[in-house]
Amino acid sequence: MGLDLLCGKQFCRRPTNKHFFTSVNTPGFSFLYMKRILSALALILTVLSVSAERYYVNPVAGNDANTGTGKTVPFQTLDKVNSLKLQAGDEVLLVMGHTHKGCLLLKNLSGSADKPIVIASYQEDEKTAKAAKPIIDAKGFLNGILLENCSFVTIDGIEIRADGGGMHPGDKSSKMMRCGVLVQATEPGEYSSIALHELTIRDVFFEEKGFKRGADEVKTANGKQNYGWGIRFINAREDAHLQDLMVTGCQIENVAHTGLKFTGNNKNIRNIRVIDNTVMSTGGPGIQMSGVHQGHVKGNQVSYSGSNNDSRKWGRGSGLWTWGSSDIIIEHNTFKHANGPGDSAGCHIDYNCNNVIVQYNLSANNAGGFCEILGNNFNCAYRYNVSINDGHRVKGKDGAFQEGKIFWLSGYQGKKARSGPFNSYFYNNTIYVKKGIVVKIAVDKASAGVLIANNIFYIEGESKAVLGDQYNPEKAGESKVHNIVFTNNLYLKKGNWPHDVLIQDDSPLYGNPAFANAGGQQLKDYLPTNIKLVNNQSIHITPLPNDSIGLFIGLKLETDILGNKIEGLPDLGAFEIK
């Protein structure tokens, strides 16, 4: 390749003025020409310095004295990787089928949109069967992978474990938590485009096996002791933003507290996508977000959140919950078997949120309940979901300090006076509760603006009204709820909606939709076969009185929970019968 192509002709062409070109050995050598040559060489060195590099790590066959740039000369340790100054387009590949002890610490690094920094894996011998994911064993370290003040970084196909070990001698953090992956902003700036893909995070605990939590720890708001977390994104700085974050195809299992957690400050975490992940047996919530603006949570399978099968786990948590967040769509997820003496719904909307839409989800066997919208929330909705046997928890039994509830509007907003929620929309949901579970419903008198329509309440047993029962329990009293549209819901029998709830259906329907397999655990089990009873029987949903917003993505849906097109008047419940 000629110098022209490397550095541009403006630096490399021969000057037309004869005084500008003389041999270097000639006394009349031009300083201007020398300057141009040096500029060209500097540009060449710059081009060479940013060329992407690929590094290999093998804990068995590697050596940190190697260059690391080939399979035959790999590094041995993660510490060596931590010493590199990775550039845009660089890749770090961990050998598959082996365990890498320690942690990856990536700080103040940035790839680019077309050349992200990539942490992934490689097959040691292409001729053999594909090996398992490489494992990072971070026992005794605070994080398996830390991304601090980084942008344009992709982590793909790694397994991380960190089962106990307490505080590593080299760590001085006072936060005393252990994470499979921690992404955080600690300095002012814009940090974007972090992608976590097909990671496996399992067995993450701060304490050693056999450690037992205090009996009252589960009653604290989020736990006060040391825990292990799956994946965390944290931005505590008001002068920094974390944005364009993706978590896709990951599996998080058996961690002491939350599986996947976003913690922002004044909505300084923006544009998150949480797609097609599996979260199981977490000691706290499955997925949680605070201070997030714009998010899409789709296709995730969350089960056994709030697990207490290990004494190191917190033992309480909803499948998913939001706090202080806005413009969030939660759809086509499954939330099952949430456990705990408080909270622990399938998916709930905690206070200080707006524009959170819960749609097209399957919620089943969650102790805390199905629909839960707390105070100071605006224009939030549950629509086209299926709920199966949710809210079975009984206050006072097995240490429970909250009732399980199938439907709960609460004005609770922490230490402030109860207020809201405002303009809550609840329509075209299908709810089934078997005999033997007493259905509980709570509507706070501080609520304002409530729409409940086109739902199917198939409740085989008894129902009763209860008061909200957070840390500052609601007081009984006269209803102040106004701007109500409560009409056109189908009930299996009278009494399914208790007569002493503050708001009542003004045009109830009664009958048996004859589900395909009542009591089953799949969506198709709740397809009505009594077609005449439900077909085209819904009303069109319009904004509540005095609500100029409705829902930020619109009140009308084109398809049902299975993707069937809705034509004409919708059918009752979550399904459009074909």
Q: In terms of domains, do 94 and 45 share one?
A: no
Rounded Cα gap, residues 467 and 60, in angstroms: 61
The predicted structure's pLDDT at residue 23: 33
List the domain range (segments joined by +) for residue 105: 90-218+225-317
Q: In terms of domains, do 191 and 295 share one?
A: yes
Q: Residue 82 domain-assigned? A: no
Domain boundary among 255, 288, 317: 317
More confident of the two residues 175 and 4: 175
Element (H, E) at 7: helix 3-7
The predicted structure's pLDDT at residue 99: 98
Q: How confident is the model at residue 17 (pLDDT cuts 50, 70, 90)?
A: very low
Under 8 Å between Cβ of 402 and 342: yes
State the total domains in the chain.
3
Q: In terms of domains, do 38 and 111 share one?
A: no
The predicted structure's pLDDT at residue 7: 32
Under 8 Å between Cβ of 268 and 217: no
- How open is the CA angle 143-149-153, to the nearest 5 degrees? 80
The predicted structure's pLDDT at residue 380: 98
Return mean pLDDT, the chain: 90
Q: How confident is the model at residue 495 (pLDDT cuts 50, 70, 90)?
A: very high
pLDDT at residue 135 above 70?
A: yes
The predicted structure's pLDDT at residue 473: 65
Considering only the C-alpha atoms of the chain, give the largest distance between any 2 of them, rounded to a whole number of Å: 108
Nearest to 141 by CA among 81, 205, 77: 205
The predicted structure's pLDDT at residue 325: 98
The β-bridge partners of 371 are: 407
- Where helices occur in 50-159 by DSSP H, the ranges are 78-82
Domain boundary among 299, 317, 335: 317
The predicted structure's pLDDT at residue 468: 85
CA dihedral 304, 305, 306, 307 (to 10 degrees): 40
The CB density around residue 279, as the number of other CB atoms within 10 Å, is 30
Q: In terms of domains, do 38 and 187 share one?
A: no
Q: Residue 431 domain-assigned? A: yes
Buried b (16+ CB within 10 A) or exposed e, 110-141: bbeeeebbbbbbbebeeeeeeeebbbbbbbbb
Give the DSSP letter string of 486-530: EE--EESSTTSS-TTSSS--SS-EE----BTTTT-SSGGGG-BS-
24-61 residue pLDDT tens: 333 343 444 445 545 555 544 444 445 799 999 999 99
The predicted structure's pLDDT at residue 477: 60
pLDDT at residue 171 above 70?
A: no
252-300 residue pLDDT tens: 999 999 999 999 999 999 999 999 999 999 999 999 999 999 999 999 9
Residue range 535-561: average pLDDT?
97
Lowest-pLDDT range, 163-177, 241-255, 366-380? Answer: 163-177
Q: Residue 355 domain-assigned? A: no
Q: Residue 258 domain-assigned? A: yes
Q: Residue 26 domain-assigned? A: yes
The predicted structure's pLDDT at residue 424: 98
| Residue type, position 167, single letter | M
Q: In terms of domains, do 33 and 118 share one?
A: no
The predicted structure's pLDDT at residue 130: 86
Lowest-pLDDT range, 25-29, 322-326, 567-571? Answer: 25-29
Under 8 Å between Cβ of 95 and 70: no
Cα of 222 vs its chain's centroid, Å: 17
Strands 369-373 and 405-409: parallel
Q: Residue 295 domain-assigned? A: yes
Nearest to 297 by CA among 386, 359, 235: 359
Q: In terms of domains, do 118 and 237 share one?
A: yes
Q: Residue 395 domain-assigned? A: yes
Q: In terms of domains, do 252 and 384 share one?
A: no
- How open is the CA angle 427-428-433, to the nearest 5 degrees? 100
Q: In terms of domains, do 380 and 521 share one?
A: yes
Q: In terms of domains, do 271 and 388 share one?
A: no
Q: In terms of domains, do 399 and 503 share one?
A: yes
Rounded Cα gap, residues 239 and 231, in angstroms: 23
Q: In terms of domains, do 286 and 414 share one?
A: no
* Residues 6+ away with beta carbon under 8 Å from 291: 235, 262, 263, 264, 265, 266, 267, 268, 269, 323, 324, 325
Lowest-pLDDT range, 11-20, 28-37, 115-124? Answer: 11-20
* Residues 6+ away with beta carbon under 8 Å from 227: 177, 178, 205, 206, 256, 257, 283, 284, 312, 314
188-234 residue pLDDT tens: 999 999 999 999 999 999 999 999 998 899 999 888 889 999 999 99
Q: Residue 424 domain-assigned? A: yes
365-398 residue pLDDT tens: 999 999 999 999 999 999 999 999 999 999 999 9
Q: In terms of domains, do 505 and 447 share one?
A: yes
Tell whether the torsion through CA atoms of 453, 455, 456 and 457 is positive or negative: negative
The CB density around residue 529, as the number of other CB atoms within 10 Å, is 13
pLDDT at residue 540 above 70?
A: yes
Q: Structure tokens of 452? A: 């409940």
Q: How confident is the model at residue 469 (pLDDT cuts 50, 70, 90)?
A: confident
Q: ω into residue 421 within 30 of 0, thus cis?
A: yes
Q: Structure tokens of 354? A: 């707006």
Query: What is the C-alpha end-to-end distance of the chain, expressed in Å?
Result: 66
